[in-house]
Structure 1
């Protein structure tokens, strides 16, 4: 009888753990931003970030979609040590994301850091309702990291899912 109770307790505990894990799974959000200055507008205009929010509120940017035209890029979380040394004075290293070359990633990387071998985007905390600053950093053939651009965005809204019509924003839906 004792063995049956132990098995039942283990099964009950496992079921509770699975239910808790399911409720706490990561959620994906689509946050839209508009360029906040001329430099940012000349490089990216409006963007929508695919943001994954983890169990304890931590966020991770998975991809970027152009809100004003066709185009998207995927990212990989990556914080090489050279990134923090090239950020403008007073800026702290937030989350680093390597721009993957698939799809429009290569074009985005070349637009932000022309001539670099690889490009990273460094963000502060990505939060709904707040402005966002993104630093583009490139790795050159000589092995040096260089700061390429500072992009400033103002928050525009949140999509319920990925936009189907490019050029319209969350507030236009």
Structure 2
């Protein structure tokens, strides 16, 4: 009776100690593929966290061509998911945190919305990416705002540097 319990304990200990070693942060960069996406974001870099079993979650979005970034929090209401286009309903939802540059991103994607979520297609290198922006207005209604499409650009080891960082006179 002790043997199965001991084996289970060892297995759980091994998995729990391996989890931090396997989870890592990556930076995936994408270029806009259509006019609407180019007008709103041009290119983006996603800070993603890959978990123990390969699941990827977005933590932060950086503008690739300009100054700015936004924190994203995983999760969102079912009402936001229900109004997504049919092919995006299984996507993961991320709330755009409206602090700092996140407020500007939310306003650009869904002008007038109180809250904004991004529904992200499955994130895998080197696959294209689709983001659907959904907003909630003061009256409680949720609306689909825009679909953004990107092509894979590359993977980075560190966060992108702002073109304005450490610039003389900045």
Task: Give the TM-score category using the shorter length.
Answer: 0.7 to 0.9
Maintained 8 Å contact 2:82/2:89: no
Where does structure 1 lack aligned partners over 5 or more consecutive residues? 1-8, 168-173
Identify which of 45, 50, 54 aligns with 2:51.
54
Alignment of 1:38-53 (within 5 A): 38-53=35-50
- How big is the shift at 1:91? 3.0
| Aligned partner of residue 74 in structure 1, secondary structure | strand
CA distance in 1 between partners of 2:54 and 2:14 (Å): 21
Query: For residues 87 and 20 of structure 2, what CA distance do their matches in structure 1 show?
Result: 40
- Aligned to 1:100, which of 97, 105, 114? 97
The aligned counterpart of 1:69 is 66
Q: Displacement, 1:86?
A: 1.1
Do structure 1's residue 162 and structure 2's residue 124 form an aligned pair?
no
Provide structure 2 residue ranges, at least 5 long, that are not aligned to the other structure.
1-5, 165-170
The partner residue of 1:118 within 99, 104, 115 is 115
* TM-score, structure 2 normalization: 0.85
| CA displacement, residues 147-166 of structure 1 (integer Å, 9 cap, x when unaligned) | 00000000000111012253
Q: Does 1:153 find its partner at 2:150? A: yes
In structure 2, what is the equivalent of residue 79 of structure 1?
76
The 1-side partners of 2:30 and 2:137 are apart by: 29
SS in 2 for 1:51: strand
2:19 is paired with a residue whose SS is: helix
Taking structure 1 as the reference length, the TM-score comes to: 0.83
Size of the aligned set, in residue pairs, is 158
1:12-55: CA deviation from partner (whole Å, max 9, x where unpaired): 9487455433433x111100000000000000011000011111
Judge conservation of contact 2:132–2:144 (CA < 8 Å) in 1: yes
Secondary structure of the corresponding residue to residue 42 of structure 1: helix
Runs of 4+ aligned residues of structure 1 deviating over 3 Å after TM superposition are 12-19
Equivalent residue of 2:112, what SS? coil
> SS of the residue aligned with 2:86?
coil
Larger Rg: 1
